[in-house]
Amino acid sequence: MVTRFYFLSKKMAEDLTIPKEGSKEEMYESLYPQLKALTEDEPDLIANMANIASALKEAFGFFWVGFYRVVGDQLVLGPFQGPVACTRITFGRGVCGKAWKEKQTVIVPDVDLFPGHIACSSLSRSEIVIPVLNDGDVRAVLDVDSDVVNSFNEVDALYLEKIASLLKF
Ligand code: SME
């Protein structure tokens, strides 16, 4: 089965095709070139963050997908898909703050076992956060939450890092 969904860009409707029954790798392999094509001619950071969040939510059915941008000494909520979320996160705090501070992807198999986890929703059970870098500086993070424990592994880390690197600052 193939699921089609549509994006409206300034030029035209974009049709992304995702194999819903493939392996995680197959789904990311299918999604990545489509996201690359969708973002490469669009210089606006927020527009590209918005479409990436939408595509990941639609393709994988994650509970929450979104970006926080680095603004001064805080992360500020950016484009996202899912329930309303915490607006600001301090450097080093929570999973997002840890990914920012350490400049590394953080996978949390069970949020209840992560000291300092910031629970924007009690339904979130596992999480992955990818730092989005530009010239060695973290400019944003991509946060993906699941309502099931153990949802994320190195495959997600690999492809989400690749997807995050599509963003231009
Ligand atoms: N759980 C995150 C906060 C952001 S929400 O999950 C959307 C954290 O601990 O940093």
Q: Where are the domains of the chain?
A: 2-164
Dihedral sign (CA 26, 28, 32, 34)? positive
The fold of 2-164 is: Beta-Lactamase (3.30.450)
Ligand 1 centroid to Cα of residue 116, in Å, is 10
> Is any ligand 1 atom within 6 A of the Cβ of residue 64?
yes
Reading the chain (169 residues) residue by residue, the pLDDT tens digits are 565 655 544 444 467 887 777 899 999 999 999 999 999 999 999 999 999 999 999 999 999 999 999 999 999 999 999 999 999 999 999 999 999 999 999 999 999 999 999 999 999 999 999 999 999 999 999 999 999 999 999 999 999 999 999 999 9
Q: Which residues pair with 2 in a beta bridge?
A: 19
Cα 9 to Cα 28, 45, 132: the distances in Å are 22, 14, 23
Element (H, E) at 13: strand 13-19
Cα 123 to Cα 134, 142, 166: the distances in Å are 32, 19, 30
> Is any ligand 1 atom within 6 A of the Cβ of residue 95?
yes
Q: Which of 75, 84, 87, 89 to mutate to test the pocket of ligand 1 (most atoms within 8 A of CB)?
A: 89
> Is any ligand 1 atom within 6 A of the Cβ of residue 120?
yes
